[in-house]
Amino acid sequence: MRKKILSAMLSLTMLCTALSGCGSSAAKEESKAPEQNSSEARGSEEKAEANAELEGDITFWHSFTQGPRLETIQEAADKFMEEHPKVTIKIETFSWNDFYTKWTTGLASGNVPDMSTALVGQVSEMINSDAIIPLNGLIDDIGRDKFYENALNELSVDGNNYAVPLYSHAMVMWVRKDLLEKNNLEVPKTWDELYEEAKALTKDGIYGLSFPCGSTDFQATNFLNFYVKGAGGSLLTDDLKANLTSDLAIEGINYWLKVYKDCSPKDSINYNVLDQATLYYQGKTAFDFNSGFQISGVAANSPDLLDYVDCYPIPTIKGTEQKGITTSNQPLVIWKNSKHPEICEAFIKTLYEEDTYVKFLHSVPVGMLPAIKGIEDSEAYKEDPTIQKFAHAEEVISSQIPGGTAIGFEHGPSVQAGILTNQHVIEEMFQDIITNGTDVKTAAKEAEDKLNSLMEAATQ
């Protein structure tokens, strides 16, 4: 992928508003000379850095807004500052959606952090904006062979790793085993079976399956991707254009409209991911699609239901076995504007130390699976009671990670895939059909054209 100048990203941000209402790793930043690529120079730099006392202030934006994760990250930062008394780490938290708005609008003024979390699809946009630096050296220092290859590839362009994956998860189908047993139903394997069972279970204050299409999130894009990608299709063409008018995509759109009509609360037209998940947490839906975060949500809201929740692979049209549709290898990035990338790198390395890393993963057990090899086999990791109780769920989710990708990444990392999820055009399409009665093919063509205009603006 060829890097685009910053103005292209800013033009995209302004266009999106109208339509919808640093360089290299810290060690390599010391010099631009070609000989710095040599292993000898690299070794000299590392030795100098090891002997130098870290000093400076950095800002870390992250979206771990839930208590246990937030607290674990803060503890890691506090420990790092205690060990490096001349360093200050200022942590600011934003929801995933607020973070996207924050960094895209902050690029012009330089109001971006030193380091941050991100969504996978956003990393490509950051690279395209020349906003973040490659982390090849950091990954080598942690141990490149410790990371799963597909996780690194998803965050890499032209041989450079622009982000380091902190944890992994995959989307799966969550069921209420007690409701299935009570109604003599089996776990559905096809989309038709899921619809029929969800319709049958929509009674007595329970919705079979909620369909979320709120325009502040990308849940409708996610659900449509389940249907299309599970059948071997894609929401992007091979030449990276929006693909919403194919027979398969139209079939998927009609499927989710049918689910909304017959199985879903009508308020779900405005649901974001938390609204959607909360229904399952509270025992108000029989089926849902999410990662292992469902477990901690049910534990906090309806602990009496914990014995009855479990997950299985997402259905397909014909019920054929699949090894993953949508996965996420949640990344950390270092921003090019940072004056202290060496502090960011040093702090990130400490997050992978086994005691700290296991404690972080245990803050949402089964919700966050290790992005590095071997952790899942350690006694410290396995001793968590939730991981033990939900061994089947962890096994299912783990089985779906190798074959899945972020939405649109089946063609490799791209700005187009980021736009597909981050601009909420598909959500607006569903809302238009549901609210205004717009013909499905007409709405799909309008959404496809709008996405292609945004993609073209971003890649000129």
Cα distance between residue 338 and residue 110, in whole Å: 10
Cα distance between residue 321 and residue 323, in whole Å: 7
Give the global pTM.
0.85
> How confident is the model over 327-346, as pLDDT tens digits?
999 999 999 999 999 999 99
What's the length of the chain?
460
Closest CA to 191 of 328, 327, 313: 313
Mean pLDDT of 42-53: 53
Average pLDDT over the chain, rounded to whole? 89
- C-alpha to C-alpha distances, 53 to 74, 92, 227, 346, 411, nearest whole angstrom: 22, 25, 53, 11, 43
Quote the pLDDT of residue 50: 46
Q: Domain 172-325+423-459, what architecture? A: 3-Layer(aba) Sandwich (3.40)
At residue 89's C-alpha, the angle toward residues 157 and 26, to 5°, is: 35
The percentage of residues in the chain with a pLDDT greater than 90, rounded to a whole number, is 80
Quote the pLDDT of residue 323: 86
Cα distance between residue 440 and residue 432, in whole Å: 9
Comma-separated ranges of CATH 3.40.190.10 domains in the chain: 6-169+328-400, 172-325+423-459
One-letter identity of residue 201: L
> How confident is the model over 187-216, as pLDDT tens digits?
999 999 999 999 999 999 999 999 999 999
Quote the pLDDT of residue 201: 98
Class of domain 6-169+328-400: alpha beta
Cα distance between residue 446 and residue 355, in whole Å: 51
